[in-house]
Structure 1
Amino acid sequence: MISREPTIERLAVARSLLLEPFGLTDASLSKALAVIATHRIDDADLYFQYTRSEGWSLEEGIVKSGSFGIDQGVGVRAVAGEKTAFAYSDDISEAALMDAAMTVRTIGAAGESRRVKVGPKHKVAGSRVLYAPMDPIATLDSTQKVALLEKVEKLARSKDPRVKQVM
């Protein structure tokens, strides 16, 4: 098997999790950055967030509660001189991205228009892998998660007879 450069692999994961499900493409991102660049901006970036969380509570060997949450959004930052503007939306969509881009570009509205040269397409800086591109929530099904909680509860109780309740 040929090893892929880690940054390229992470870019593919980001596209599949943050862009494609919401109908966004590289062209959408370029369009948003172009909107920002119509004003005198020194730097700009786009930030996407998608976080899932899951919680289980076991009391006296019985699952008492469970929770699941999703936190997502898109943010835009623009820097002009010493000023910084941010805009954020909980909605990941092209409309939300464009609204955020239009909002932050006003920080440079007083300046003149200028062209911004962007580096060659698809040139990605090398980096090191800090996290595996996997979804830990999907690694176990509900039955396996409950079994793991039961195992942890038994282990805690077996370590010390003073343990009366594991939550």
Structure 2
Amino acid sequence: MTDRDLISHFDADETTIRDIVSDTLHGADDGELYVEYSQNESLTFDDGRLKSGSFNTGHGFGLRAVAGEASGFAHAGELSLGALKRAASTAKAVTAGYTGAYAEPPRGTNTRLYSDENPIGAPSFEEKVRLLGEIDAYLRERDPRVRQVSASLAASHQVVDILRADG
């Protein structure tokens, strides 16, 4: 799951997902379906060896409805129709007996802050460990008083889709 269209990863078609979101947010002042996919990597090099390494992949969604001062929110770690329906039931409860006017969508800036490139894939794991070793060696060569060197690398990649009731 690395493409940019996370809505397509639900086990239902996009029209069904959009209909559920629209129905959930009917009568609300604001709200959205927030779908996320993320990867995180961390490597720590300590005293000439790789001390720890971790890699995590996660995905899920949050569904929020705002009615006046109240907010209904539900989330799940799976992109399934069943989970979305349960979340919709929870989030929609905040609009019971409330009739609001849906807020205008935020203005798009079309400012692209990041590329689509996932920074975790390159350089390779082996190259990252080698770089940490080079940092260790460089610092020890610079000053013979150096007794301990700790260096770490971390990277994260996140893809987010936000679907509002107005599309």
TM-score class, shorter: 0.7 to 0.9
**Counterparts in 2 of 1:151 and 1:23: CA distance versus 1, 3 Å:** farther
Q: What percentage of residue pairs aligned between the two structures are identical? A: 31
**Could you tell me which amino acid in structure 2 is paired with residue 68 of structure 1?**
F
State whether residues 8 and 14 of structure 2, in contact with CA within 8 Å, keep that contact through their aligned partners in structure 1.
Answer: no
In structure 2, the residue matched to 1:29 is 17
State whether residues 13 and 133 of structure 1, in contact with CA within 8 Å, keep that contact through their aligned partners in structure 2.
Answer: no
**Could you tell me which amino acid in structure 2 is paired with residue 74 of structure 1?**
F
In structure 2, the residue matched to 1:14 is 4
**Counterparts in 2 of 1:149 and 1:107: CA distance versus 1, 3 Å:** same
- The higher relative CO (CA closer than 8 Å, separation ≥ 6) is in 2
Structure having the larger proportion of residues in strand: 2
Deviation at 1:29, TM superposition (A): 3.3
Supply the distance in 1 between the matched residues of 2:12 and 2:111 (Cα, whole angstroms).
26
3-state SS in 1 of match to 2:145: coil
Q: Deviations over 1:71-127 (max 9, x none)?
A: 332001101122111111122223222221221011111136x997x99xxxx9342
In structure 2, the residue matched to 1:86 is 73
Unaligned runs of 5+ in 1: 1-11
1:146 aligns with 2:129: yes
Select the residue among 109, 113, 135 that pairs with 1:130: 113
**Could you tell me which amino acid in structure 2 is paired with residue 153 of structure 1?**
D
Root mean square deviation, CA, Å: 2.9
1:77 aligns with 2:64: yes
Supply the distance in 2 between the matched residues of 1:75 and 1:64 (Cα, whole angstroms).
35
TM-score normalised to structure 2 length: 0.72
Unaligned runs of 5+ in 2: 151-167
**Could you tell me which amino acid in structure 1 is paired with residue 126 of structure 2?**
T
**Could you tell me which amino acid in structure 2 is paired with residue 36 of structure 1?**
T
Supply the distance in 1 between the matched residues of 2:115 and 2:55 (Cα, whole angstroms).
22
